[in-house]
Amino acid sequence: MPSLPTQATTTSPALRRLVREIDDISTLPHVADRATQAAADPNVEAADLRQLLESDPALSARVLRYVKSSDCPVRDQITNLQQAVFYLGTKQIRDLAMTAGVSDRFRTDLMIGTYQRSQLWQHSVAVGVCSRMIAKRRKLADPEDVFLAGLLHDVGIILEDQYRHDAFFEVIRSLQEDLTLTEAERNHLGFDHTALGERVGQRWEFPDAVIAAIRYHHVSVGYRGDHIDTVRCVEVANLICTLRGIPSVGVKLVKFSRTAFAGLSLAREDVAGLIEELDEELTGHSDLTHA
Q: Residue 140 maps to which CATH number? A: 1.10.3210.10
3-class secondary structure, 171: helix
The answer to whether residue 82 sits within a structural domain is no
CA distance 232 to 206: 18
Minimal CA–CA distance to 229: which of 152, 155, 127, 139? 139
pLDDT at 138: 92
Higher pLDDT, 256 or 190: 190
The answer to whether residue 68 sits within a structural domain is no
Q: Which residues, including other chains, have CB under 8 Å from residue 37's CB and lie 6 or more apart?
A: none
The answer to whether residue 114 sits within a structural domain is yes
The answer to whether residue 38 sits within a structural domain is no
pLDDT of 286 over the 70 cut: no
Q: Would the pTM count as exceeding 0.75?
A: yes
CA distance 116 to 161: 11
The answer to whether residue 78 sits within a structural domain is no
Asked if residue 227 lies in contact with residue 207, where contact means CB atoms within 8 angstroms, the answer is no
CA distance 140 to 234: 13
- Structural domain for 112, as ranges: 7-24+104-289
Average pLDDT over residues 232-252: 93
Average pLDDT over residues 56-83: 87
pLDDT at 243: 87
pLDDT at 284: 63
Q: How many domains does the structure of the chain reveal?
A: 1
The answer to whether residue 56 sits within a structural domain is no
Average pLDDT over residues 60-80: 85
pLDDT of 263 over the 80 cut: yes
Point out the least confidently predicted range of 73-87, 100-114, 166-180, 237-251: 100-114
Asked if residue 9 lies in contact with residue 186, where contact means CB atoms within 8 angstroms, the answer is yes
The answer to whether residue 244 sits within a structural domain is yes
**277 Cα distance to chain centroid:** 21
Higher pLDDT, 290 or 56: 56
Mean pLDDT (the chain) is 89
The answer to whether residue 46 sits within a structural domain is no
pLDDT at 35: 85
Q: State the CB neighbour count (10 A cutoff) for residue 69.
A: 10
Half-sphere CA count of 56, side-chain side, radius 13 A: 32
Q: What ranges make up the beta strands (E) of the chain?
A: 111-112, 115-116
CA distance 61 to 40: 21
pLDDT over 90, % of the chain = 57
